[in-house]
Structure 1
Amino acid sequence: MVQNKDMKKERKAVNMITDSPGRAMLLFALPMILGNLFQQFYNIMDSVVVGRFVSEEALASVGASYSITNVFIAIAIGGGIGSSVVVSQFLGAKQLGNMKTAISTTLINFLTLSVLLGTLGFLLNEPILAWMNTPENVFADASVYLSIYFVGLPFLFMYNVQAAIFQSLGDSRTPLYLLIFSSLLNIVLDLLFVIRFHQGVAGVAVATLMAQGLSAVISFTILLKRLKAYEATEAFHFYDMKMMINMMRVAIPSTLQQSIVHIGMLLVQSVVNVFGSAVMAGFAAGTRIESICIVPMLAIGNAMSTFTAQNIGAGRPDRVKQGYRYCYVMVGFFAVVICIIMQLWGDLFISGFLNEGSAETAFQTGMAYVRFISFFFVFIGLKATTDGLLRGAGDVVVFTIANLVNLAIRVIVAAVFAPIIGVQAVWYAVPMGWAANYIISFMRYLTGKWSRVHLISGK
């Protein structure tokens, strides 16, 4: 049982099981949206600073790296969210000892994975860049950026996994506060290393490493304190192999779902790179803006996942359906607002990434991408919401197939049609993949079979 003082805190926070579904979804999703926005600002500052204060080639090099680094970010976020589904279900079922074991097992798993992936990435970043057809004039800077980035990969993983754990406990505010702090620190360090010390691409990479490292340490300290507030009746174990296998059932498909957009970007980046550094710079600016625009959609999907997991654990699938309907309203609202903003002021956002000496090709490429894709953000919102429900329920087979179809469409359409109609084929493929993903997942939702999947045993 939770101690009395912490029960009072819980009553002030969002309760996914007893609050009205609309209120719970909205109040839980809003801090996640703000937090994810700060995370995107955190990530795009490297591009803004080098694009404005170094050169177009520097922006292109960070853009080439971005499609690679985003895959690893997605692995961290997806794995954390997938594992936290089990944490949420244990919390909903009041099995607090098992909940703590699940958290400890998750942290150990992803610390080990991050060290392994960081080492491989550090050793193999140049072959990866060569495979992606990275132009010679941006290759060296991209390699430097990636080398430093991979050194800090364990910090990135641990922060994002810990953020997912906080959210699985119904706390979406602590990750928000930490992201605000780390984002501001990253901005200050970016400007210091690039403008003051003239370190260029290497400077922004070091700034990101330092900000992520400090955030991960602070987050871990807060998490340990938070877990002490839960008094458990079941035994706690630092690591449970059976529980690890059970969590991987959801974590692997969840990682795939979170990674799918970025894996697609990585694969099609090699198509974009063939068109030269000016197109690369414009596409980099456009995809950075896209990453901000889809933040509300992905946050709503992640909120749906936590809401589903806790209510499934509490035996309340009826509330899941209510929450799902409210998500449609939120997705529709954000899709309309974002589309209007991008159509009216998209050029201002693109200009923020490029300096006055940038080629007109870079600007036109970025503008064409942003104005086209902004009409279709509703599809990724519907996809993320439906995928979030299936993930929270632990119903992962069709969910995984849908995301693989999404990836296949994006890669095949881009690779086949870009040589024929130009780089525009890369962004034509994006909404096609999103729509196909949503339709497949939605058909699974309509069957109702997701409500009968069980990841944890009852008390």
Structure 2
Amino acid sequence: MAHSKEMTSGASLPLIFNFTIPLLLGSLLQQTYSLVDAAIVGKFLGINALASVGASTSVVFLILGFCNGCCGGFGIPVAQKFGAHDYVTMRRYVAVSLKLAALLSVIIALITSLLCAFILWVMQTPETIFDNAYYYLLITFIGVPCTFFYNLLSSIIRALGDSKTPFWFLLFSTVLNILLDLLCILVFGWGVAGAAIATVFSQGVSAVLCYLYMNRKFEILRMTPSDRKFRPELAKQLLYIGTPMGLQFSITAIGSIMLQSANNALGTACVAAFTAGIRIKMFFLCMLESLGIAMATYCGQNYGAGKPERIWQGVKSATLLMVIYVVIVNGILWGFAERFTLLFVDASEHEIIEKAALFLHVSVSFFPFLGMLCILRYSIQGAGYTNLAMFSGVAEMIARILVSVVAVPLWGFWAICFGDPTAWVFAVIFLVPAFAYMYRRLKVIVARERADKM
């Protein structure tokens, strides 16, 4: 029997830490799969096939980022009602979120599938890789419902304080994905399309298994016919919270696309250094992102329980964990950045190694800002103020565009290295007063509710 876990009482630091670890392992697993998937395509299908996958990476992130953001947002009211012990409304939120997911995912899949060729044409995809890129993108977009439901169900389970179960399903999905990659590419000979089919199918299977497990093992989620009814007022609230979170991911992706485009114009060495640096950086920022996701559930439950003071305690505990981690990671990357780069390029590529190390040194120096960004943004989202948190994504986008348009032409790769850090600083400058505003409002709201009950 799976167990939900309340985070509304007890010391905040161990609660947040224990919740974060499975999220971290899952995030690292995803990064590992990304590398293995690219290696399989590149090794067995060649450079053009690998380029076909890479040609659509940014737009895939743009669309799937929106879907994943919505899923995270749909889990917030579930966490809030769980914290408030209002299990009837919680189950109704779950039922409505599943219906919304079905509708939104089909609409997104239909529109994006029809626009695949146009998207690749706008992105000036070379003719030599256009067909493969088209089929990869088409299959990925057709599979949006699988991705949507998989992430939504994981978000609902996490909202109940269980971060371990989603990890095991992610592990299953990853192993299945790799096996299907090899089957579709080596045995069936489906090429790049086979890689996309493997990803979509594995997520679809995981979504179905996750749904069956959730209904059988979480008694608190077992619904009556009344719970399953569609309720427009709950749907409106879910969209009010989920849509800004989805847009935040997409808005951030736009800035990243601009920065990537500016770097592409600097030449092959810069592109290779940037690619290697980004992949290494993604591994080391997994902890910060996982800590943020943990804070969303923690704050959502404590908001629902009417305990805003615990939200502030949680932020302080998460900040302490973040600082300890950042100190360790700075020591690692300042000492071994060049060696990590050798995982991607030959030792004779001195320029690429030097530039990648520069990129990593600059990035890790600003990890405290990224850590605060994750903690504050997800805390604000967990309390339901997703519109407010979305503007931090706008700040990030503006920063990256300014760096891309103004700084890169003047300072080249040096400016590229400061692209993401500048965005993190811009976001934190916005998020600090935004969190203070939200926290004051929460205390006022809770004080009024307590007074009304007296």
Flag whether TM exceeds 0.5 (same fold). Answer: yes
Which residue of 13, 19, 31 corresponds with 1:28? Answer: 19
CA RMSD of the aligned region, Å? 3.1
Moved more, 75-84 or 135-144: 135-144
Residue number in structure 2 paired with 1:208 = 199
C-alpha distance in 2, partners of 1:136/1:365? 30
The answer to whether the aligner puts 1:289 opposite 2:280 as a matched pair is yes
Contact preservation (8 Å) 1:60, 1:277: no
Q: Deviations over 1:269-288 (max 9, x none)?
A: 33344456675455344333
* CA shift in 2, pair 1:231/1:62, >3 Å: closer
* CA shift in 2, pair 1:223/1:397, >3 Å: same
C-alpha distance in 2, partners of 1:345/1:199? 39
Matches for 1:293-304 after TM superposition, within 5 Å: 293-304=284-295
C-alpha distance in 1, partners of 2:314/2:136? 42
Residue number in structure 2 paired with 1:241 = 232
Amino acid across the alignment from 2:206: S
The answer to whether the aligner puts 1:334 opposite 2:333 as a matched pair is no
Moved more, 446-455 or 84-93: 446-455
Q: Deviations over 1:362-417 (max 9, x none)?
A: 66665543343232222221101001111111223432222211111112321333
Matches for 1:21-420 after TM superposition, within 5 Å: 21-195=12-186, 199-230=190-221, 235-275=226-266, 280=271, 282-353=273-344, 366-420=356-410
Q: For 1:18, what is the secondary structure of its paired residue?
A: coil
Runs of at least 5 residues in structure 2 that lack an aligned partner in the other structure: none
Deviation at 1:145, TM superposition (A): 1.9
Contact preservation (8 Å) 1:14, 1:27: no
Amino acid across the alignment from 1:433: A
Contact preservation (8 Å) 1:332, 1:378: yes
Deviation at 1:330, TM superposition (A): 1.6
Q: Deviations over 1:428-448 (max 9, x none)?
A: 221111111112111222343
Q: Deviations over 1:344-378 (max 9, x none)?
A: 44445444456x79987766665543343232222
Residue number in structure 2 paired with 1:433 = 423
Deviation at 1:113, TM superposition (A): 1.4
Runs of at least 5 residues in structure 1 that lack an aligned partner in the other structure: 1-5
* CA shift in 2, pair 1:123/1:400, >3 Å: same
Deviation at 1:245, TM superposition (A): 1.1
Q: For 1:394, what is the secondary structure of its paired residue?
A: coil
Contact preservation (8 Å) 2:29, 2:174: yes
Q: Deviations over 1:330-355 (max 9, x none)?
A: 2122223333333444445444456x
* CA shift in 2, pair 1:450/1:399, >3 Å: farther
Q: Deviations over 1:113-143 (max 9, x none)?
A: 1222222222222322333344444444332
C-alpha distance in 1, partners of 2:351/2:44? 19
* CA shift in 2, pair 1:183/1:233, >3 Å: closer
Q: For 2:56, what is the secondary structure of its paired residue?
A: helix
C-alpha distance in 1, partners of 2:138/2:221? 40
Q: Deviations over 1:199-247 (max 9, x none)?
A: 5433322221222121111111112224544578995243211111112
What is the TM-score when the length of structure 2 is the normalising length? 0.88
* CA shift in 2, pair 1:145/1:357, >3 Å: farther
* CA shift in 2, pair 1:291/1:115, >3 Å: farther
Q: For 2:366, what is the secondary structure of its paired residue?
A: helix
C-alpha distance in 2, partners of 1:141/1:276? 24
Q: Deviations over 1:62-113 (max 9, x none)?
A: 2332222222332222111112111111111111111111011112112221
* CA shift in 2, pair 1:197/1:183, >3 Å: same
Report sequence identity in percent. 31
Amino acid across the alignment from 2:395: V
* CA shift in 2, pair 1:208/1:284, >3 Å: farther
Moved more, 369-378 or 206-215: 369-378
Amino acid across the alignment from 1:323: G
The count of corresponding residues between Structure 1 and Structure 2 is 448
Contact preservation (8 Å) 1:59, 1:281: no
The answer to whether the aligner puts 1:19 opposite 2:6 as a matched pair is no
C-alpha distance in 2, partners of 1:435/1:244? 35
* CA shift in 2, pair 1:372/1:398, >3 Å: same
Contact preservation (8 Å) 1:282, 1:362: yes
Q: For 1:19, what is the secondary structure of its paired residue?
A: coil
Residue number in structure 1 paired with 2:411 = 421
C-alpha distance in 2, partners of 1:61/1:366? 24
Q: For 2:21, what is the secondary structure of its paired residue?
A: helix
C-alpha distance in 2, partners of 1:183/1:371? 31
